[in-house]
A = this chain, B = another copy of it.
Amino acid sequence: MKISILGGGGFLGRKIAERLAQEGVYAGRRIEGLTLFDMFEPPAPAAPFPVATLAGDVVALPEAAIPVGTDVVFHLAAVVSAQAEADYDLGRRVNLRGTDAVIDACRRLVAAGGKPPRVVFTSSVASFSATQADSLPDDTKQIPGNSYGAQKAAAELILADASRRGFLDVVSVRLPTVSVRPGRPNKAASSFFSGIIREPLLGLEAELPVPDDFAVWVCSPRRAVEWLMHAGAMDTSAMGLDRSLSPPGIRITVGEMLRAMDLVRQGSSALVRRVADPAIAAIVGTWPAEFTAERARALGFAAHEPFEDVVRAFIEDDLEATKRDRGV
């Protein structure tokens, strides 16, 4: 079993690499090689199998990024929402042309006599528009309100077609907003969904730009990693032409998120200041707060843990490293 992670230096890519290194087996087979590709050379975890690390441009994907014999490709290389909105050309280049480059790399493997590699593609809740009241069924039409979402929805279509043609075997997972992300606050409109938990747990103040009853569709980093690894190992024969799914995240209000944090660390939410920001509220207000996620459940995607567990997992997995990185 040979695996490649494109975007292997990112937050989720690194977590998947660490899990694979710990387990040594994947989908019931011994891992014989892992390739980590990113813009900058990603760190290699200590592993019982060879790990190659590689830096480059996804649009000019080097052949070594998806070497001959690769079984599974985690395609996480992307320009995220705020950046794709600020720089149209960059978003289109990486999110669309980059996906074409991944398809072409897989075609080369198939042309050389290999099996179509499984590709796990991270799509996003941002490819939909909705109101706070909606719970979207699986067959909802994607009408994105941002360039990132439009590029992800288009890439889903192109990857599904490449699957139908036998170039690869894709599962596109439309990740909810991931919370709690480690690191620092950033300019993403969704940054505060992690900030209101991470910052108080670091002893720092955080700003909440939306009302307490604002609902959001979230998943934990642990659950995102589980789902992506399930997508790389599952049987796709029942999927038909539609190779995308919305996994079972949780609908939660930010007020409920804060109460869950207080249950784990009493009084933490006192560090959260309400600072209404209509610009941010306008952006996140168009994202669906809930999906029925029936298809993903039927395909074996695990149900989500309660948010209290998410807070505890952040403390266990990421708090110390975040403190070190940020010097707090």
A: residues with CB less than 8 A from B are 88, 92, 96, 100, 129, 139-147, 150-151, 153-155, 157-158, 160-161, 164-165, 241-242
Known: A100-B92, A241-B129. A145 touches B157 (CB 8 A): no
A244 to chain B, nearest CB (A): 9
Known: A142-B141, A241-B144. A160 touches B150 (CB 8 A): yes
* Docked complex Cα distance between A99 and B316 (Å): 48
How many copies the complex holds: the figure is 2
* Docked complex Cα distance between A142 and B139 (Å): 9
19 A-B residue pairs with Cβ-Cβ distance under 8 Å, sorted by A, are A88-B165, A92-B158, A96-B158, A139-B140, A140-B141, A141-B141, A141-B142, A143-B241, A144-B160, A144-B241, A145-B164, A146-B161, A150-B160, A151-B158, A151-B161, A154-B154, A154-B155, A154-B157, A154-B158
Question: Which 7 pairs from chain A and chain B are nearest by CB?
Answer: A150-B161, A154-B154, A154-B157, A141-B141, A150-B157, A143-B242, A139-B141
* Docked complex Cα distance between A69 and B151 (Å): 29
* Docked complex Cα distance between A129 and B140 (Å): 15
Closest to A138 in B: B141
Closest to A161 in B: B150
When distances are taken between beta carbons in the complex, the residues of chain B under 8 Å from A164 are 145
| Residue among A129, A153, A242 with max Cβ neighbours from chain B (10 Å) | A153
When distances are taken between beta carbons in the complex, the residues of chain B under 8 Å from A146 are 161
When distances are taken between beta carbons in the complex, the residues of chain B under 8 Å from A158 are 92, 96, 150-151, 154
* Docked complex Cα distance between A153 and B161 (Å): 11
